[in-house]
Amino acid sequence: MKIIIVLLLAVFFSLPGASSFADSVTLKTIVFKSSDQYTNTPGTANSVTDNETGLIWIKNPTTIGTVGGYNFSAVMLWPEALLAIAALNAANSGAGYDGSNQWRLPNVKELQSIVDYSRDAPYINPIFFISPPTIRDFYPATTYYWSSTTSFYGLGYEWCVNFSDGGVAGGRVLHEDKNYVRPVRDS
């Protein structure tokens, strides 16, 4: 089933009109994650380093709580996600969160890089949670997380990653779509 989805994505992104997105995103063969790909980031309480990409992720955004009026345990509109990240960086008198004020919304390639297809749903390494995740951790709310990448669907759409099936979809920014936020920063 997963191979069919990948093949369908490859065909879809080769269609005319998908070129602007296909030019900016390189589809690659799915690589199953090794157990040592992620390590706890030294000097932080809630960050994990991806040893393959060098990116530092917030392990479990729900533990952030509410910062600047934005609840990281809840879904939010895309403009709210951008403001929530700005509030996270301004927290603690500008020192930010978990030792950094350089958090940002990941692009779709970065967000999809933490999808772990070697697992059943949710398709994410348990290091990103305080306790081992189950699919119930994702329901009844959305399983999508916002990215910073604009979708080719048109004005008002951003790409999202769904950790219940590992897929990528276009979220409607200017409408009612609400998704979770998983902050990232460069090392």
Tell me, rounded to whole angstroms, the distance of Cα 145 from its chain centroid.
5
Q: Which two structure tokens, joined as six digits, stand for 28?
A: 């690659």
CA distances from 16 to 108, 113, 149, 168, 171 (A): 21, 26, 19, 19, 21
Domains of the chain plus CATH, in order, are: 33-185 (3.10.100)
Contact 169, 44 (CB under 8 A): no
- pLDDT (tens, 9 = 90+) of the chain, 187 residues, equals 444 343 334 433 444 444 334 334 444 445 556 668 899 999 998 999 999 999 999 988 888 999 999 999 888 999 999 999 999 999 999 999 999 999 999 999 999 999 888 887 778 887 776 544 555 555 444 578 999 998 877 777 888 898 888 888 887 766 678 888 999 999 9
pTM as predicted: 0.76
Nearest-angstrom CA–CA distance, 62 and 65: 6
Q: Which residue has the tokens 């008198």?
A: 93
Q: What residues contact 163, with CB distance under 8 A and at least 6 apart?
A: 115, 121, 122, 123, 124, 138, 143, 144, 145
